[in-house]
Amino acid sequence: MHRISLLHPAGADYSVTSELVAPADLDGTLDRLRAAHPDADVVVVPEPLAAEPPQLVLMDVDSTFLNEEVIELIADHAGVRDEVARITDEAMRGELDFAASLRARVAALAGLPDTVLTEVRGQVTLTAGVPEFVRAVQSAGGVVALVSGGFAEVVVPVAAELGIGEVRANRLAVADGRLTGEVDGPIVDRQAKADQLRVLCEQLDIDPERTVAIGDGANDADMVRAAGFGIAFCAKPALVEVADAALTIRRMDAVWSALTGER
């Protein structure tokens, strides 16, 4: 049985209705529900996840787990936020190679004191519903992991506060207390994100069909396609095109509602 969940926007909140549907009835039920609820996000959850909660949820960070693009907050301290934001937006739309765009953006940060990273950690905010979503997944026996084209110096401490230990992200090179304008180590790009999903499945002995990947930009496309269920979360069109479902309600707990029918 598949689960069809309808998420109905209600200001800054939402409501959910859900039903289990046999495969033979899926197309007809979808047509009926979409006609009756044109403003709702309609999510079709495949059988493995409709029957049991996810064993692994792998999430992008910037503009997904967090409301902000961390590199733009750092760039604000260097007076180059508009330039960096433009490059970020083009990369997330899939118009620029991510690794090349990241190098260009990080180069603009050269010379900033590394203390700026502590300041930025204090500026970031969790997307609404993230704590509730993480608790729900963990309480059901699943693992929440983060993979980010952003920076571990900011992401790791924030994740630790929610009991998330599996984090892979880029690191900023520092010399003499200042950012050098370079990335320290291999860049976490779209292929690295998909690889991280496979690595975690192997390490944690998880069935790939019981995995969920959530992102918002083109850099998340390979990860979303590799997961048992890929979700485009308030996403750019390039990701919506390849995802299994697209959510426009900007609450992460809405993902749990979509998967389980629970509010």
Strands (E), 89-177: 143-151, 166-170, 172-175
One-character DSSP codes across 136-157: HHHHTT-EEEEEEEEEHHHHHH
From the CB of residue 203, how many other CB atoms can be counted at a distance below 10 Å? Answer: 9
In angstroms, the CA 143 to CA 59 distance is: 11
φ and ψ at residue 69, rounded to 5 degrees: -95, 110
Indicate which residue of 25, 41, 62, 76 is catalytic: 62
From the CB of residue 86, how many other CB atoms can be counted at a distance below 10 Å? Answer: 11
Element (H, E) at 4: strand 2-10
Indicate which residue of 25, 39, 60, 253 is catalytic: 60
Residue 97 is a catalytic residue: no
Residue 216 is a catalytic residue: no
Positions marked catalytic: 60, 62
